[in-house]
Chains A and B, each alone.
Chain A
Amino acid sequence: MSLLSNTATLLGKELRTEFRSRELLTTTVVFILVVLILFSFAISPTTEESREFGPGLLWLAILFAASLMLQPCFLREQSNDTLSSLRLAVDDPFAIFLAKLIANTLFLLLTEVLMLPLFAVFYNIAILPKLHYLLLVLFLGSFGISVAGTALSAISAQARMRELLLPLLLLPLLTPILVVSATVSVSLLDREPIVQWQGIAFLAIFDLVFLTALWLFGEYLLEE
């Protein structure tokens, strides 16, 4: 059970680091807000159109925000070379990834929950009727983004031009999340809401596939 206890300790460390400064959360919230407002300016949708396109735009904003938010995840360990100490401290390097990806999922979810009411108001969409399903989709989507994103930010942190590289590596890889989450969200926010269980199952499969890949190959990502 050392994996779980290590993960819990590391997760505590990730959360403490973030909540001391709240840098990531504040910037991400503002970023999503700006993008959503700019989208609305760019297409000035009617109520019907925002029902149709709003959820897709929301997910696009989340994806962009995540590709920025996941940057510092491993970079922050580089300035004092804390990553080597972390690797020495845990038996299984997967604990480092697990802690980071849980922390990233929590940060993403928190920003999304803060954004949802504003999204509902700006795009004139009633989110309350199927809120619990919407939260489930947001959770599965954000978890998938965090799993793939944490893995890729470990890669991009070791390259040049890393700020530009991470979105380029990550966004095409997240196409399935964007496609399915947007479709499921559209049908949840429709006038006659439908829960697309197939889509929700698909998101869970995506999460599992990438979690397994990270579990298998994660240790190589941290090699010196």
Chain B
Amino acid sequence: MTKRIIFAAVSILLVIAGAYAAFFIAPNERSMGVVQRIFYFHVGSAWAGMDAFLLCFIANLLYVWKRQQKYDSIGVASAEVGLVLTTVVLITGPIWAKPAWGIYWTWDARLTSTFVLWLLYISYLLLRSLIEEPERRALLSSLFGIFAFIDVPLVFFSIRWWRTQHPSPVIMGGPGSGLDPTMNKVFFFNVLVMHVFALFLIVERYILEKTKNEVDILQREAEAQ
């Protein structure tokens, strides 16, 4: 219990520190100005969200292979947290895009594939809610999760056929890309913060799911008696 409280306190403090760094420490961007600061939360959530979905995919594979309840719980926990973070990405993106591009939304590869990813994981959670029997739910949703994750690169590359408007990679892009050193530090700090925060949420959600399963089992035993 104390470990959970410490983890909660640390991740919340980190979120506050990340926000402080993004608003007060990072320098103003030359052409976009203050609006650019949303980028620290936007990209941080995007990367953490992707990693949550990656964790979900690994948990799905492990469930199909090992058939242990815990992998199913990790799957649902990381899918839900990934979905929340992707929602943050889909909200902060347009807020930034309106002043920077003049439009809220464009059907470019990264935007569209993030949106499709979001839809796929909504379907994943929806599927889970429509199957009663726990083991069947775990197996079928894991299989759907695997198919969905395989689809993501295909979605991305298929939409690259259309013209793309997302800014080309600034981080780890080619020559000429890159950030001011302070911006860089704040940026990677925020990426770290979002990952810690995501992990905190996943762990909490995992514990909740585990407790729920235990209650279900106890309830069934009580009914059987």
Majority SS at the chain A contact face = helix
Residues of B115-131 at the interface with A, using a CB-CB cut-off of 8 Å, are 116, 119-120, 123, 126-127, 130-131
A172 CB–B CB distance under 8 Å:
yes
B146 within 8 A of A: yes
Assuming the contacts A159-B131, A172-B120, asked whether A209 and B140 have C-beta atoms less than 8 A apart, the reply is no
Residues on the B chain within 8 Å of A165, using CB: 126-127, 130
Stretch at the interface among B155-163, B167-175, B206-214: B155-163
In the complex, the answer to whether B139 meets A220 with C-beta atoms within 8 Å is yes
Q: Does A168 contact B (CB under 8 A)?
A: yes
Instruction: Tell me if B116 and A152 are in contact (CB < 8 A).
Output: no
Q: Residues of B contacting A213 with CB < 8 Å?
A: 146-147, 150
Q: Which residue of A lies closest to B142 (CB)?
A: A220
| Residues on the B chain within 8 Å of A158, using CB | 131, 136, 140
Q: Do the beta carbons of A220 and B64 come within 8 Å of each other?
A: yes
Known: A151-B147, A152-B147, A173-B148. A179 touches B126 (CB 8 A): no
Chain B residues within 8 Å of A151, by CB: 143, 147
Task: Compute how far the CA of A151 lies from the CA of B145 in the bound complex, rounded to whole angstroms.
Answer: 12
Q: Contact: A176 with B154, CB < 8 Å?
A: yes
* Cα distance A175–B152 in the bound complex, in angstroms: 10
Q: When chains A and B are docked, how far (Å) is the Cα of A180 from the Cα of B109?
A: 13
- Binary interface profile of A, 198-212, with partner B (CB < 8 Å = 1, else 0)? 010010011001100
If A148-B147, A155-B144, A206-B154 touch, whether A223 touches B139 (CB-CB below 8 Å) is yes
Partner pick for A176 among B127, B144, B158, CB 8 A cutoff: B158
Whether a CB of chain B sits under 8 angstroms from the CB of A19 is: no
**Whose C-beta in chain B lies nearest to the C-beta of A198?**
B161
Taking a contact as CB atoms under 8 Å apart, the answer to whether B130 and A160 are in contact is yes
Tell whether B151 is near chain A: CB-to-CB under 8 Å: yes
A37 contacts the other chain (CB 8 A): no
User: A148 to B112, alpha carbons, bound, how many Å?
Assistant: 20
**Contact, CB under 8 Å: A159 / B120:** no
Instruction: Give Cα A173 to B158, complex, Å.
Output: 12
The residue on A at minimum CB distance from B112 is A175
Size of chain A's interface in residues, with CB distance under 8 A?
Answer: 30
A136, CB-defined interface residue at 8 Å: no
Cβ of B151: which chain A residues have Cβ within 8 Å of it?
Answer: 173, 175-176
CB proximity to B under 8 Å, residues A135-175? 148, 151-152, 155-156, 158-161, 165, 168-169, 172-173, 175
B147 touches A159 (CB 8 A): no
Q: Which of B116, B136, B158, B159 interacts with A172 by CB under 8 Å?
A: B116
A7–B107 Cα distance when bound, in Å, is: 41
Q: Which residues of A contact B119 (CB under 8 A)?
A: 172
**Nearest chain A CB to B147's CB is how many angstroms away?**
6
**A122 CB–B CB distance under 8 Å:** no
Q: Most chain-A Cβ atoms within 10 A of its Cβ — which of B126, B154, B159?
A: B154
Can you name the residue of chain A whose Cβ is closest to the Cβ of B117?
Answer: A172
Whose C-beta in chain B lies nearest to the C-beta of A206? B154
A194 smallest CB distance to B (angstroms) = 13
Interface string of B34-51 (1 = CB under 8 A from A): 000000000000000000
Assess whether B127 is in contact with A169, with CB atoms less than 8 Å apart: yes
Q: How far apart are the CA atoms of A202 and B157 in the complex, in Å?
A: 9
With the chains together, A165 CA to B112 CA distance in Å? Answer: 22
Q: Tell me the bound Cα distance from A152 to B130 in angstroms.
A: 14
Q: Pick the most buried of B112, B126, B131, B151: most chain A CB atoms within 10 A of its CB.
A: B151
When distances are taken between beta carbons in the complex, the residues of chain A under 8 Å from B120 are 172-173
Given A165-B127, A176-B151: A159 touches B158 (CB 8 Å cut-off): no
* A-B pairs, 10 with minimum CB distance: A176-B158, A159-B130, A172-B119, A176-B154, A179-B158, A160-B130, A159-B131, A155-B140, A169-B123, A180-B158
20 sampled A-B residue pairs with Cβ under 8 A: A151-B143, A152-B147, A156-B127, A158-B131, A159-B140, A165-B126, A165-B127, A175-B112, A175-B155, A175-B158, A176-B154, A179-B161, A209-B154, A210-B147, A213-B146, A213-B147, A217-B146, A217-B147, A220-B64, A221-B143
